[in-house]
Amino acid sequence: MPKMLQQFRNDSTQWFTRTVYGYNEKDARDEYGRSQDDSKRQVYCVYNYRTASDYMDMWHLPEDHPVWRCEEFGEFGREYVREHKSKDPFYLGRQTLESVEQDWLRGCKQEEIRSMSSKLRSKAEGMIVSRKRKRRYNAVVGEVDADRWANRQYDQAFVDRPRTGSKGVPIVTVLAQFGGNCGIDHEALQWNGVAAVALCDALTSSGWSVGLHMFAAHQSNHDRKVMTLHCMPMKRPEDMLNLGMVGAMACHPSTYRAHMFRQYQGLDWVKPGRAHGTPFTMARFREEHSTMFDRLRDTMPGNTIVLESSYSERAAEQHVTEALEIIKNPMILG
């Protein structure tokens, strides 16, 4: 009888929880520098960040901080990037690290997200079931609606409770890939995040409660049977959607190639190896590691809408449209 995937390690910090899964406890041991192919079975080290802000805050941790597992960051260190990678089209596009850090603070990519979101809303006609609950107005009792009172609609200004609605607000989580391999152009990295955030915006506008998780699956080239998985909750279903801040975290290409590379180097369960390891697309990870994928998906709130990997605007629109087709299925409406 084949062994089942089990949890063998679990610890936490103020930024994340770390859980190691495997088929054999010996394979899942905490040994950073083990030799090539020493593991007998597949091992997964899962980093679940507490919030998106916690993930972003780790950029400021010094490289001698005890949270890091590696001995040396090299070209993936923060100061090395600052001194040597400014205006490098692979890491930072045409920006300096200082301007990228300002984007992270101020927010960015709002216009790209709004543009795609407006296109999605037209595509979503008849696909997204609006769940905005309506207020009842009467002239007898209730609380005052400020907008109607200001517009002198006194006979309709008093609001009855509770609000009326046919069903409860559905809760869904959008799961999208974060980043991609080195053959992808810097600017192309934005489209996974833009598609995911635009879909969240379109659903939220229709009264849905929507969460957003970005996901990175990274295979070690030092020991190819070990994968490090990073799950970033960019938005929880109960949170307001701040396009600028979520855009900076989910859509800015340098959030992956500067920030996430540093996380890879500092936190991988085993050494990344040559070419700094291998990232997997959403489709490849789901196909080759379906047991682990299902386990991760089951931990997310509500029904999960999985977006396939997108590296162009056309692909992003296509994959979001496919996701909207799935939403038409009454079984997902709750």
> Confidence class of residue 241 from pLDDT cuts 50, 70 and 90?
confident
Q: Is the pLDDT of residue 93 over 50?
A: yes
pLDDT > 70 fraction of the chain, expressed in percent and rounded:
81
State the average pLDDT over residues 152-172: 60
Mean of the per-residue pLDDT values of the chain:
83
In the numeric block, the tokens 């692979």 are attached to: 90
Q: How far is CA 51 from CA 42, 94, 226, in A?
A: 28, 29, 25
Q: 78-87, 138-147, 270-279, 289-298: which has the minimum mean pLDDT?
A: 138-147
User: Would the pLDDT of 166 be above 50?
Assistant: no
Instruction: State the Cα–Cα distance between residues 241 and 211, nearest whole angstrom.
Output: 9
Domain ranges of the chain: 6-125+168-332, 134-164
End-to-end CA distance of the chain: 37
Question: Residue 104 and residue 247: Cα distance in Å, rounded?
Answer: 9
Distances from the Cα of 179 to the Cα of 9, 17, 123, 156, 232, angstroms: 27, 21, 26, 51, 12
pLDDT value of residue 274? 76
pLDDT at 48: 96
Contacts (Cβ under 8 Å, ≥6 apart) of 93 = 87, 186, 187, 253, 254
Question: Does residue 150 register a pLDDT over 60?
Answer: no
Contacts of 188 (CB under 8 A, 6+ apart): 180, 253, 311, 312
- Write the DSSP string, 69-127: --S--GGGSHHHHHHH-TT-TTTTTT--HHHHHHHHHH---HHHHHHHHHHHHHHTTTT
Q: Band the pLDDT of 131: cuts 50, 70, 90.
A: low
Q: What is the mean pLDDT of residues 60-73?
A: 91
Most confident among 38-47, 147-156, 307-316 (mean pLDDT): 307-316
